[in-house]
Amino acid sequence: MNFEFKTFEQLTPFELYDILKLRVEIFSVEQKVLYNDLDDKDQKCVHLIVRDEDTIIAALRLVPQGVSYDDATSIGRLVVDQNYRRRGLAREMIIMAIDEIKQRWSCDKITLSGQLYLKEFYESLGFETVSDVYLEDTLPHVKLDLNL
């Protein structure tokens, strides 16, 4: 597998299409959530893409401070193709994302809005739940922080 960080400008049209397709397949089709994935944040983000040979099988985005949260950077839109789950890939991606944020930006905190069923996963990576459960795009979420 190949892991690569790219700014929005560095993504090819084919890579962007594959990332968006994967996000639609997981968030809209699999999880049955209707929401506007195109939120004008991708252009400001750094994207981690994971390939198995030529196929993008996972992705996430690193969101600079001030885009989603005034006081923190963020990690979002984590997706892993259904055929590649339960192999530790998401854990590896989050660890890489944290390291990349530390290298790329000067920040004290990473905040994310995680689906409730992933709360323990994020906590196992050092994140602390800092909110009650709330609905985001009809799904239960919690806000989690990682102090750097």
pLDDT tens-digit readout, 79-135: 999 999 999 999 999 999 999 999 999 999 999 999 999 999 999 999 999 999 999
Residue 6 has a pLDDT of 98
Coil, helix or strand at residue 28: helix
Picking from 67, 89, 64, 66, the residue whose alpha carbon sits closest to that of residue 78 is 89
Residue 14 has a pLDDT of 96
Bridge partners for 56 per DSSP: 51
Picking from 62, 5, 28, 39, the residue whose alpha carbon sits closest to that of residue 138 is 28
For 27-39, how does the pLDDT look when each residue is reduced to its tens digit (9 = 90+)? 988 888 888 888 9
Q: How far apart are CA 147 and CA 110, in angstroms?
A: 7
Mean pLDDT score of the chain? 95
Residue 34 has a pLDDT of 82
Residue 126 has a pLDDT of 97
Domain 2-107: give its CATH architecture.
3-Layer(aba) Sandwich (3.40)
